Every structure is written in structure tokens, then in C-alpha cells.
Structure 1
Amino acid sequence: MTSSAIFRLTGLLLALTLALPMSFAPMRAANAASEIKIIVNNQAITSVDIARRAAFLRLQRTGGNLNQKAREQLIEEALKLQEAARIRVLASDSQVDASYERFAASNNLSAKQMNQVLNQAGVTPKHFKSFIRVQMSWPRVVGAVTGGGGISTQDLVTKMLERGDDKPSTTEYFLQQVVLVVPANKRSNAVLNARKREADQLRPRIQGCDNTASTITGLRDVSLRQLGRVMKPELPPEWKPLIERTDAGGTTSARITERGVEFIIVCSAKTVSDDKAAEMVFRAENADAGDSAEAKKYLAELRKRAVIANK
């Protein structure tokens, strides 16, 4: 996935991975009559938009008043996209589509399968792509305002070299994930601890990634996911330190998660130094630009100047 969306969607990738084995109850809100609920500088936000964002928050296991959180997010995103369009840094359809496809591939899904998951969850691909567009475009706005508005990979590499940096390197991992599933209706400390002991007994039996599937064959409620190629800046924060201290061919320690007990197998790890690595490192250094104090101040100014009407 290109742009800062790589980093901002990492947590969602994990949430979606957790949600994939579950069956979603079809959402009816998207089929209800659409009513305008909010107007942001002449841009309408409808009841359907709010329902889809609430479903999106639910997919991420967000708590609290989801409708109110959805309204706030959509107002802010409208302001961000309007400003990105005004200064001509809006992510294009092709960039968004490419990010969507790569995100699907990161979950071992085709774009068609991703469409199905999002539709079943009541989110829809269109709504998710709008979210991606915001995640890609807003850091560009902040970068332009603060003087760091390079966008393309080549621009980023050139910028780094101009400031005296060598072309940086990063670590490229190929990963597998083993999950000892604990159904929600059987989840208890005793069951989780028992499954963790099973995971700790299983880990020494795994040597590399070539024979993982055969090793877990016949084991009760154990699944294998091919996570594929993951660059170091893309590692989820909760897994990053565990993966970084694991040698190629080894496994991380087991963690209790929402799905049960999991561990990661590091199939391979190598240092890469190319334009893609340079882009990843540069963007990792600036991944929080969209959430910086300057960004929040700028968004507050946009909101102050905006005409927002709640229906």
C-alpha cells in the first residue's frame, strides 16, 4: 500500500484479520432510506454514511457511542478531503484502488473477497476506499503546510539524499501466523492458559516455514495464515518487538489475542536497500504527521472556518 495509509491501516489489518473467521450478520442499515444528517461546507453526510462508518468502527471492535463517533469522524474526514482537493494533493482513484488491492492481498484475500467481507460487515468497499483516500491525502496536506510535502517515491528518496542521508535500509520479513483458536463462548482464563501451553509445546516443533502445514495437521482448532512479505515499518506495534528479536526460521513467543493464542513464524529476514525501502523508512519517520500537534491545530482551524449543519 502506498502513502502513510500503510502505517495507519496496520491496526485495521490486524482487526480485519481477527474478524475474518467470524460470520457477520448482514447489516440492514445500508438498505434503509438515506437521509441527510450533516452538511459540511455544502457536502452532505447521510444516515447511510453514518451507518456504514458505525459498522466500520464495529469491525475494529471500537466501543462507546458508535453513531456519535461515526458522525465526528465523517465531519473531520470531509474537512480533510475538501482541503486536500483545494490544494490538489488528493489521492487519485488509481492510487486508492492499488492500496485497496494490496491491503486485501495482505489479508490473503482477492479484491473480490475483500468486497464480500466489507459488504457482509455493512461497510461496503466504496466506504472503505473513502477512508483509505483520507488516510493517504491528509498527511500530504500536513506535509504541504509544514514544508514536507513530497509525495512520490522518487521525491522522497531525493529529499532524503538532499538532506545528506544515505539511502536507508530496512528489514524485509516473510511471515506465517499460527492461531490456536478459542471460540468466544469457551473463552476463560483456564482455557486460554491451556491453549498457551499447547502453543509453547508446538513452537519447538516448527523449524522454518516449509513444513508448518504438515506439522499442525490434525491438531485441534489450529489454523495457519500466510502473512507473506512485510517490511519492518509495517509490523504491528504489538508484534514488532517479538518479531525483531526472532531469528529466521524461529517463532515468536505466544500471545493471547482476541482469537485465542497466536505466534508468528519468521520464514526469512533480510536487509534491503532500494527506493521502496527508502520510501518506507521516510514515511515511517513521518507516519504520525497526520496526528501531530500541527495537524490537529490545522484541522481545528478548518473546522472553525467551516459551515457545519446538523440535521
Structure 2
Amino acid sequence: MRKDVDARVFGFLANAGFKACLVIAGIAAAAALGGSQSHAQTIISSINGDPVTNIDIEERMKLLRVLRKPATREAAIESLYTDRLEIHEAEKYSVNPKEADISEEIVKVAQNLKMAPQALVAEIERAGVTPDHFKAHFRADFAFSLLVQALNKGVEASEEQVRAELAKQGGKSASGLEYTVRQVIFAVPNSATVAALNERAHEAEQLRTRFVDCDSGVPLARAINDVTVRDPLTKTSIELNEGLRQLLDKTPAGHLTPPQRSSAGLEMIAICYKGAPKDDSAARTAISQKLLAAHIAADAERRLKEMRARAVIVKN
């Protein structure tokens, strides 16, 4: 349920695992730089015996602003209550997220905010939120989400639901365009000099000018030293993120996208086919996932409301 199709298929454009590693490093740096609170803590209230302090509330208001959510004092308190309920419920089922899981949650939130994960962590840090505070928030959200998904294991959208939604979206056309692509990778060592990188970039651009279709262009690419051409992959618009879809849309069929630097070297995408999808399987899969996500979100909201109604809150 948490697969990243684009990361798996086009790692150089959207590698969530690599981003998560960078987020972990950013959190560690923030923790090393974090200072102590400048004023004493006062317990404002408690939920099921778990205290909420004035400092918790102040930090949560700052965090909510960064996350572009209502940041009133009342909203901050409710957000803290939700965290406490989520993490306690997850702990009942022995769901204990690791550091990498917290980073995965940050990557997801950053994507929703259309930000780079590192930029999100930096903005949170600039707002004056300590690593302990924002990590606790993302840990609670991730843990509860994982728990609700597990509790809904085996739940699927019905064929009737999928068929009805597909008809609403226009049938096969709901998938948008279909692309058959191949990655072309010019190997460049991480230790390469600027001159060596520029020379390799020049080779890549020369190939772009000569590459007019995959039948003739792939052999040209393979004839260049230290160039790898991956096997063909077929994906539809609905399976791609917006940035990658825009890149493929503005590149004519039979041509290469501009080279981009990655850990492997300079990478380009050869668009071997771009046209109408051959079937509606991609659209059906996306609709099924969307319906399931909506069901899980509704179930999570229901569970939280029930826990909140049963919670014992003491205000000081």
C-alpha cells in the first residue's frame, strides 16, 4: 500500500529511499544543534494520564504553521491529543516505528506539500521546533496509519465500485497516455572532475541530437563506452508523478529527455512509444487503490473519534 511506482521505475527522478536517508541525516544534524527550552514547562492538561505542557503547545503551533494547517492554541492541543491517542493505540499492537519509518512519513508529507523532504525538515527547524517534537508527531502518524492498514488487511474495492468509478472517468481514457520507455545511463564516477563530467554531458547531448527513434538510437547508445540501456518499461500517465509526466509529455516520441545527474551518472529516458493505452488495467488499479485509501482514511477517522470520546482529559 506504500509502493512508490515512480521511485521503482525511474529512480533518478524520485528515489524515496535515498530521500529518506537524507532526511535521517538532516534530523540527526538538527538534533545535534537543538538547544534547551528557554523557559520552564507547565502542565496544561493530560489525556489518559499523558501530560501536555505549555512548551508542547507552543512547538505544535509552530509545526502546524509549517504544515499549513490551522495553528491556533486549541488546534495545537487537539493535535497533541491525537498524537497521544495514536501512539498509545499503536503500542497496544506492538507497532513501533523505526527512524527510517519516520523519515518515510516525512517524505510523504513533503510530497503532499510539494516540497523536498530536506527543505521541509529545514523549515521545521527554522520555525524553532525541536527534533524530538516533530519526530514524535511523525512517528505517531506513521504508527497509527500502519496499524489501520493492518486492521484493514484483505479489504478491497468491489468490482461494482471500480466499474462505476471507471465509467465516471471515461473508461480506458482515464489512464491518460501510455509510455514505453528505456533508461539510458552514462556512467560517471562520483569522484569525477568537473571537466570529466562536462565531457560526459557533451557526449550525452550529442547522442540526443542523433537519437530519433529507439530502433536506431538504442544501438547508437550501446556503442558508446560505459553506457547502459535498460530494458523497456511501459507505464501510463496515471501511474506517474506530475513532474515525470510533464517531462515525458514535452519530449517527442522517439527522442531522449535531457540528461540529469544521479548517483549512477547522467541519465536520460528514451521514449519509444507514447499514445493511447492498450487497456484499462492501469486505470482500474489506480481506482481500486484510491477507493481503498478512502476507506482506510474513513476508518482511521472513525477510530480516532471513538478513542477521543473515551479519553479521560484533565485540564489544570
| TM-score between both structures, scaled by the size of structure 2 | 0.51
Q: Check 1:83–1:284 CA distance in 2 against 1; reply closer, same or farther (3 A cut).
A: closer
Partner amino acid for 2:205? D
For residues 34-67 of structure 1, the C-alpha deviation after alignment (integer angstroms, 9 at most, x for no partner) is xxxx863412246xx626648989xx99767999
Structure-1 residue corresponding to 2:215: 210
For residues 77-108 of structure 1, the C-alpha deviation after alignment (integer angstroms, 9 at most, x for no partner) is 4322433455xx3247xxxxxxxxxxxxxxxx
Q: Check 1:201–1:66 CA distance in 2 against 1; reply closer, same or farther (3 A cut).
A: farther
Of 271, 276, 282, 1:271 maps to 276
Conservation of the 8 A alpha-carbon contact between 1:199 and 1:254:
yes
Q: Check 1:158–1:297 CA distance in 2 against 1; reply closer, same or farther (3 A cut).
A: closer
Partner amino acid for 1:166? G
User: Structure 1 unaligned runs (5+)?
Assistant: 21-37, 93-149
Which structure has the larger Rg? 2
Greater fraction helix = 2
For residues 178-236 of structure 1, the C-alpha deviation after alignment (integer angstroms, 9 at most, x for no partner) is 111222222x5544433222211012333322345532335233221124111112234
Structure-1 residue corresponding to 2:98: 50
Structure-1 residue corresponding to 2:20: none
Conservation of the 8 A alpha-carbon contact between 2:188 and 2:265:
yes
Identity %, equivalent residues: 20
Q: Check 1:168–1:68 CA distance in 2 against 1; reply closer, same or farther (3 A cut).
A: farther
Q: Check 1:273–1:223 CA distance in 2 against 1; reply closer, same or farther (3 A cut).
A: closer
Shift of 1:153: 5.6
Matched, 1:231 2:222: no
Structure-2 residue corresponding to 1:76: 141
Shift of 1:249: 1.8
Q: Check 1:75–1:244 CA distance in 2 against 1; reply closer, same or farther (3 A cut).
A: same
Partner amino acid for 1:183? P
Conservation of the 8 A alpha-carbon contact between 1:154 and 1:275:
no
Shift of 1:158: 1.8
Root mean square deviation of aligned Cα: 4.9
Query: 5 Å matches for 1:39-118?
Result: 40-45=90-95, 50=98, 53=101, 75-86=140-151, 89-91=152-154
Query: 5 Å matches for 1:243-282?
Result: 243-272=248-277, 274-279=279-284, 282=287
Query: 5 Å matches for 1:88-167?
Result: 89-91=152-154, 151-152=157-158, 155-161=161-167, 164-167=168-171
Partner amino acid for 1:76? D
Number of equivalenced pairs: 222
SS in structure 2 of the partner of residue 216 of structure 1 = helix
| TM-score between both structures, scaled by the size of structure 1 | 0.51
Q: Check 1:182–1:54 CA distance in 2 against 1; reply closer, same or farther (3 A cut).
A: farther
Conservation of the 8 A alpha-carbon contact between 2:238 and 2:282:
no
Shift of 1:176: 0.4
Of 178, 181, 185, 1:175 maps to 181
Conservation of the 8 A alpha-carbon contact between 2:148 and 2:299:
no
